[in-house]
Structure 1
Amino acid sequence: MDMRDIYYIGCYGGDTLKHRSVENCNLAGTMKMRYIVGLLKKMGYRVIVLSLTTDLVAGFHPMEELIIDEQEIHIHIPYFLIRIAGKSRGQKTAVFFLKNYLKRKLSNNSIVISYHSLLYGDMLTKLHRNIRFRWIPQIEEIYCLSRGELQNPRFLKKEERMFTEGDGFLFVNDLLPYKYANGKNYAVSYGNYHIYPGQPVINKKNINLVYTGIINTDRGAFLLLDSMKYLPLNYHLNVLGFGTENNIRQFMTKLEELNSIFGERRIAFYGTKTGDEYSQFLLQNQIGISLMDETEAISLNAFPSKIMTYLGHSLYVVSSKTKSISASKVADILYFCDNKPKSVADAILSVPLETNYLAKQKLEELEEIFIEEFRKVLES
């Protein structure tokens, strides 16, 4: 059977390779890309994933190709990495090699999906103008709105130019299309709609909360620690996360202080987990927590993928009242809180301690909607 190729560009990790280590790179982005790849294969396409993930080992790293099956190929773009004053520089060389690869492979009949990145956005825009391939930017986040060090009007305009010429779009929430779709077809995917086997075990004598993701002061992990003071002793918090050495050290210090006050180990940190180990870990909990900054710039342009992962494991979800989330199609099955410790605790206490049957039904409905929208984006 003849299959049409789709090139899918992003910092895809998770592969075991000979010349670089990318098993634990960009976990959230990789999970989202993996889900999109699976859908494209179901729709009859062959997907060529072009990954720009790099590790910290200096030197030249050649191209590596993995043939997953007849519909999926992973190509890890070559790069040359040098270390200067303790800092690694290598991804820009990967962009150079990616550009040359695309110039050889693409024609005006090609389809390219690109996971939005400041690294290669300019390059793709210029290449698209020359070759006129069908380009579908996947916008998961506007970095110059969500990251403090990049919040500059000049940087924002430059970032927006990196994707606005797309021929169709994938957006992460329902608000971004109002500003960026420009009358073109688009599809909205909040995250991975996959439904995982198994159900959390409900034990009202020991209620397990879970937080996964980055550990820093503006993404909710520290706020969640403070909320534990307002919860009964049968509520326990399990944390999977990553962050800077300083943030992790501060988090662990506060965690140990609270456990000492409680007189027992009510809060536990487990580092990071992936794959089946990650999935089995989530199923040991009943309530997933997603807390994020509610400022307008961030709330309009993001959607935490962890919410969909929690729902996919039939967890109840407590979330901040972020605009992109409260305006989403999953809002009716979430439990919202203000970003204050007592409000977070109150929302957690309002969750019914029973099996969450609504989550599976909602994800099935949303996936059907997304596939229909996605097909129009690809074929129009």
Structure 2
Amino acid sequence: MSATEQKKIIYYIGFYDGKYCHRRGNTEQNLAGSMKMDFVIQSLKKLGYKVVIVSLTQGNRCFAVEERYSVDENEQYIYLPYAAIKWNGKLKGCSRTMQFFLKKFIQSNLKKDSILISYHSLVYGETLTKLHKKIGFKWYAQVEELYCLSRKDFYSPDQLQKEEKMFDTADGFLFVNDIMKEKYAKGKKCAISYGNYHFFAKRETQNDGQINIAYTGIINEDRGIFTLMDAMQYLPQKYILNVLGYGLEQHMNRFKNRMNAINQKAGYEKIKFLGTKKGDEFSKFLSSNDIGVSLMDVEDEIAKNAFPSKIMAYLGHSLYVVSSKCEAIVNSKVAHLLYFCDNEPSKVAETILRVPVNKDCDMKQELEKLEEAFLVELQQVLEE
């Protein structure tokens, strides 16, 4: 792009977290999604685009005005206003006001030659479909997972069909795995990235003989944390599990009760819960571990319609990764970097014991190759 040529603006809609806003209280709701959005933002800037991030994130306050922040001339954040009421400790009505202000923003700012990327959401999917048809802007849907498949109790055939229609009319796609491309692209241009390919840090060498295992993310029945906890009982004393996570109250209670029981039986703190961390604290935490574990139910549809972002975060901090044999992961371009296991506690433990933790695990070159390939794909998607 020549110095005299005006940079093309790309509007990027999603629930980006609140590190650039200050008037809506605690906004730490979408750390994994924001990390992936960060990667897309930096990729777009490398390709010469100006990115305007339009965030619908809410805080813990009932009302928030619009906030704007510019990182530099090519990266601007707009946090849309919202209004809600608090009922039983939760905000109600946010999605309605968010859709109103998003619709107003798009109608005021986007024209037929505008470019919009949306992080797939049930909140505004139908709104974008209608406005895309009416205005005619270029729309590229970023689909990281299908939410009605992400938990067994969310699933219904009607809901799945409704959710698929929310991005079906997009002009192109950013997918999180190769299977989704085959299923949903329908001949349209698409780019695939499994997560954030940024290389953050090399793993810190431990001198005390202790081997630290990391689990990060949601704590529930579907994502493998309870299988991993049971696997710890098959491992020698030097193996310690460090957990960063969050979840519904009933899942957190079960997790803490199980952790306490295992630690009491072991006679020492074999499993440690460290709450949640973000930014530099999250990066420092990962760098202090040796192995990262990602377990998903291989029988569920989510195994084909997602890709755990934690895998790329682990690799980006030079951790060895133990993963379940999900179809989307086994058939990915990072499969050769992973240690696969069956989803049984004893089998998980056997695989962890096979990991050569004393050898260096520098993933910088591997991640750079993945990023270069994604940039080529992304440019091809965005070209007229």
Task: Confirm or deny a common fold (TM above 0.5).
Answer: yes
1:189-338 map, 5 Å: 189-203=193-207, 205-338=209-342
Provide the secondary structure at the position in 1 that maps to 2:168: coil
Partner SS state of residue 363, structure 2: helix
3-state DSSP of counterpart to 2:232 = helix
In the alignment, the residues of structure 2 paired with residue 276 and residue 237 of structure 1 have an alpha-carbon distance, to the nearest angstrom, of 20
Report the Cα distance in structure 2 between the residues aligned to 1:256 and 1:111, rounded to whole angstroms.
Answer: 51
Aligned-partner Cα distance in 2 for 1:31–1:353: 27
Mapped pair 1:66 → 2:63: no
* Secondary structure of 2:58 counterpart: coil
- Partners in 1 of 2:143 and 2:26 — Cα distance? 23
Letter of the structure 1 residue corresponding to residue 203 of structure 2: Q
Instruction: Give the 3 Å change call, closer, same or farther, for CA 346–203 of structure 1 in structure 2.
Output: farther
Question: How far 1:16 moved relative to its partner?
Answer: 4.5
Alignment of 1:91-240 (within 5 A): 91-203=95-207, 205-240=209-244
1:15 aligns with 2:19: yes
Q: Contact conserved, 1:136 with 1:169, CA < 8 A, in 2?
A: yes
CA-CA distance at 1:375 after TM superposition: 0.5
In structure 1, what residue type is equivalent to 2:281?
Answer: E
Identity of aligned residues (%): 51
Letter matched to residue 67 of structure 1: S
Kept in 1, the 8 Å contact 2:320–2:361? The answer is: no
User: Which residue of the other structure, out of 40, 44, 60, is the alignment partner of 1:40?
Assistant: 44
**2:348 matched to which residue of 1?**
344
Q: 2:56 aligns with which of 52, 65, 69?
A: 52
Any conservation in 1 of the 2:119–2:143 contact (CA below 8 Å)?
yes
Gap change, CA 1:22 and 1:105, over 3 Å in 2 = farther
Deviations 1:30-82 (A, max 9, x none): 11101111111111111110001112322x32111111111111101111111
Kept in 1, the 8 Å contact 2:211–2:290? The answer is yes
Pairwise CA distance, 1:23: 4.2
2:78 alignment partner, one of 68, 75, 98 = 75
After superposition, what is the alpha-carbon deviation per residue over 1:68-101, rounded to whole angstroms, capped at 9, x for unaligned? 1111111011111113455422122111111011
Counterpart Cα distance in 2 of 1:71 and 1:201: 38
Looking at structure 2, the residues matched to 323 and 76 of structure 1 have their Cα atoms a distance apart, in angstroms, of: 37
The answer to whether the Cα contact below 8 Å between 2:197 and 2:312 also exists between their aligned partners in 1 is yes
Question: Secondary structure, in 3 states, of the residue corresponding to 1:282?
Answer: helix
* Whole-angstrom CA distance in 2 between matches of 1:270 and 1:191: 23
Deviation for aligned residue 1:25 = 2.2
Partner Cα distance (1:244, 1:143) in 2: 17
- How many pairs were matched up? 379
Task: Return the TM-score normalized by structure 1.
Answer: 0.96
Measured in 2, the distance between the counterparts of 1:14 and 1:56 equals: 11
Which range moved further: 14-23 or 38-47?
Answer: 14-23
Q: Distance in 1 between matches of 2:89 and 2:319?
A: 42
* Cα contact 1:202–1:354 (8 A) shared by 2: no
List gaps (5 residues or longer) in structure 2: none
Structure 1 vs Structure 2 CA RMSD: 1.4
Shift in CA distance, 86/260, structure 1 to aligned 2, threshold 3 Å = closer
CA distance in 2, matches of 1:296, 1:241: 22
For residues 288 and 203 of structure 1, do their structure 2 counterparts lie closer, same or farther at Cα, with a shift above 3 Å needed? Answer: farther
2-structure distance, mates of 1:124, 1:263: 55
Misfit runs of 4+, over 3 Å: 84-87, 355-358
**CA–CA separation in structure 2 for the residues paired with 1:170 and 1:22:** 29
Note the alpha carbon deviations across 1:233-260, whole angstroms, 9 max, x for none: 1111111111122222221111111111
Cα distance in 2 for partners of 1:45, 1:370 equals 15
Gaps of 5+ in 1: none
- Tell me, yes or no, if the aligned pair for 2:191 and 2:381 is still in contact at 8 Å: yes
